[in-house]
Amino acid sequence: MRTRRDPRAERQAKLVPGTARPRFLVGAAPAGFANAGAATGPTGRPRRDPRASRAAAVVRTAPRLRLDWTNKGQASLAIGTAQAAAAVKAAVRVIEEPAFLVLAVLDQPGGAPSDHDRQLIAGARLLADAGGGAVVAVTVEGVSGLGEAGADRLLALPADLAEGYEPERHAAAVLAAIETLKPRHVLFAESADGGADLARRVAAALGERLFAGVEALSPDRASRRARGGAAEMARAPARLMSVAADALPPHEGTVHEARTIPAPAFEAERRIGAVRPLAVDPDLIPLTETDFILSAGNGVTDWEGFAELARVLGATRGGSRVVCDEGHLPRERQVGASGSLVRAGCYVAYGIAGAPQHLQGITEVKRVVAINTDLHAEMIKRADLAIVADAQEVMPALIRHALERRAERQGKERRNA
Q: Is residue 57 part of a domain?
A: no
* Domain hosting residue 219, numbered range: 101-261
Query: Are 187 and 306 members of one domain?
Result: no
Query: Are 288 and 146 members of one domain?
Result: no
Query: Is the pLDDT higher at 85 or at 164?
Result: 164
Percent of the chain at pLDDT above 90? 53
Mean pLDDT within 339-354: 92
Query: Is the pLDDT higher at 41 or at 32?
Result: 41
Q: How many folded domains does the chain comprise?
A: 3
SS percent in the chain: helix, strand, coil, step 5: 35, 20, 45
Query: Are 322 and 406 members of one domain?
Result: yes
Query: In terms of residues, how long is the chain?
Result: 417
pLDDT at 142: 77
DSSP states of 347-388 as a string? EEEES----HHHHHHTTT-SEEEEEES-TT-HHHHH-SEEEE
Q: Is the pTM of this model over 0.75?
A: no
Query: Are 247 and 122 members of one domain?
Result: yes
Query: Are 362 and 310 members of one domain?
Result: yes
Mean pLDDT within 85-101: 76
pLDDT at 39: 53
Q: Tell me, what CATH number does 154's domain have?
A: 3.40.50.620
Closest CA to 96 of 65, 67, 121, 132: 132
DSSP states of 17-65 as a string? TT-SS--B-SSPPPTTGGG--S-B-TTSSBPP-HHHHHHHHEEE-SSS-
Query: Are 164 and 15 members of one domain?
Result: no
Residue 282 reports pLDDT greater than 70: yes
Query: Are 257 and 134 members of one domain?
Result: yes
pLDDT at 71: 52
pLDDT at 62: 53
How confident is the prediction for the chain on average, in pLDDT? 83
Q: Is residue 352 part of a domain?
A: yes
Q: Is residue 271 part of a domain?
A: no
Residue 30 reports pLDDT greater than 80: no
Q: Is 103 helix (H, G, I), strand (E, B) or coil?
A: strand
**Residues of 270-305 as b/e, b for ≥16 C-beta within 10 angstroms?**
eeeeeeeeeeeebbeeebbebbbbbbbbebbebeeb
- Given a contact cutoff of 8 angstroms between Cβ atoms, the answer to whether 117 and 124 are in contact is no
Alpha carbon distance 100, 237 (integer Å): 15
pLDDT at 32: 41
Query: Are 251 and 122 members of one domain?
Result: yes
Residue 198 reports pLDDT greater than 80: yes
pLDDT at 37: 43
Residue 328 reports pLDDT greater than 50: yes
Q: Is residue 96 part of a domain?
A: no
Alpha carbon distance 170, 356 (integer Å): 46
Alpha carbon distance 163, 332 (integer Å): 38
Query: Are 226 and 307 members of one domain?
Result: no
Residue 33 reports pLDDT greater than 60: no
Residue 31 reports pLDDT greater than 80: no
Cα distances from 385 to residues 58, 70, 349, 368, 382, in angstroms, run: 39, 46, 11, 7, 9
The alpha-helical segments, DSSP class H, found in 78-194 are 80-90, 115-129, 167-181
Q: Is residue 80 part of a domain?
A: no
Q: What is the pLDDT of residues 355-402, one digit of tens each?
A: 999 999 999 898 999 999 999 999 999 999 999 999 888 999 999 999
Closest CA to 188 of 200, 175, 172: 200
Alpha carbon distance 266, 288 (integer Å): 37
Residue 84 reports pLDDT greater than 50: no
Amino acid of residue 215: E
Q: Is residue 368 part of a domain?
A: yes
Query: Is the pLDDT higher at 91 or at 390?
Result: 390
DSSP states of 324-344 as a string? HHTTSS-GGGBBSTTSB----
Query: Are 293 and 219 members of one domain?
Result: no
Query: Is the pLDDT higher at 168 or at 25?
Result: 168
Q: Which residues pair with 369 in a beta bridge?
A: 348, 385
Q: What is the pLDDT of residues 287-319, one digit of tens each?
A: 988 989 999 999 899 999 999 999 999 999 999
Mean pLDDT within 16-20: 67
Query: Are 248 and 291 members of one domain?
Result: no
Residue 206 reports pLDDT greater than 60: yes
Q: Is residue 272 part of a domain?
A: no
Rounded to 10 deg, the angle between the 391-416 and 303-313 helix axes is 30
Query: Is the pLDDT higher at 44 or at 286?
Result: 286
Query: Are 398 and 347 members of one domain?
Result: yes
Residue 1 reports pLDDT greater than 90: no
Alpha carbon distance 355, 286 (integer Å): 22
CA 190 centroid distance within chain: 16
Residue 26 reports pLDDT greater than 90: no
Query: Is the pLDDT higher at 136 or at 15?
Result: 136
Query: Is the pLDDT higher at 189 or at 267?
Result: 189
